[in-house]
Amino acid sequence: MSRGDRVVAGGNLSLSMRANYGEHGVDEYYKKVGATYRNPLYPGVRLCLFAWLSRWWQNEKGHLTSVDARDSILLFDLACGYGEVTVAFTEWWKLGKDLHRQETSQDRNENQRTPKSLNPQRKNTTPLIPLGQEFPSPIVMAADPYTSEAFAERTGLACDMISFKDVAEGCLPCTVTDLSRQGGQADREDMEIEMVVCSFALHLIESSSELFALLWQLSTRARWLVVIAPHKKPEIKEGWGWTKWNVDTWSPSQASESKGELLHDRVHCRVYKSLNV
């Protein structure tokens, strides 16, 4: 399922990804490297997710905590690879909770010196936001037909071995994990998916009809779709259940517009909002 054209080594075959796909085919390549796959562009993935998650919570927390009265936030890590999305989401949540505790402690003792941000202020860093007690329990579920072993090794969490085709037919992971309970299992029944994040994989669906089937099915189950890639593919067309979202103005945008997209370390992040939930 993924992931760019940069020359890589280590857990991947020592060729460019384009050459790997050309020699082995996408499915066969990931069968060969599924247990050892690594994404060399993870720093950009992490920054994109930190930026998206912070903007999402700043703009949506009022609705989620008062109107919906959510007690959990479910993130679906689709084509999860080595767990880059789950790791970044977990880190963002933990650092946000730590920042809230620091600010609360500082309020109680103004003479105590407390950093204003847990992020070093250097190029390409994304400021964190404090996450207080109102933040719902963070829940994750993951799927990848090839890299479940690598995902479990990296995260210590379960990954269901289901494919894009399975998801398009209505199949979702059976296992969900509550990060606030130190890896405790959660009950997915009737739990709405807040966001689907697909990193370095969606562009590998070559058939337009298969991509439509997947995206339409997801649009009936999730509020947000976050596509992370080394380029601006695939094209998600109008009528497929999603509207492109400008994360700067927090409003719908034209599918052809690049305004409101995120870009960090050559990694692109595009966000879409469901029209069906």
Closest CA to 99 of 126, 136, 125, 132: 132
Residue 75: both structure tokens together: 């993130």
pLDDT at 19: 47
Please tell me whether the peptide bond between 115 and the residue prior to it is cis, using omega within 30 degrees of 0. no
**CA torsion 18→257→209→277, rounded to 10°?**
120
Instruction: Indicate if the pLDDT at residue 29 is higher than 50.
Output: no
CATH architecture of the region 26-102+132-274: 3-Layer(aba) Sandwich (3.40)
pLDDT digits (tens, 9 = 90+) for 38-82: 677 899 999 999 999 999 999 999 999 887 788 999 999 999 999
Alpha helices in 78-147 (DSSP H): 84-108
Contact 139, 93 (CB under 8 A): no
What percent of the chain shows pLDDT beyond 90? 68
pLDDT tens digit string along 149-204? 999 999 999 999 999 999 999 999 999 999 998 757 777 777 899 999 999 999 99
Gap between the Cα atoms of 202 and 197, Å rounded: 10
The mean of the pLDDT values for the chain is 84
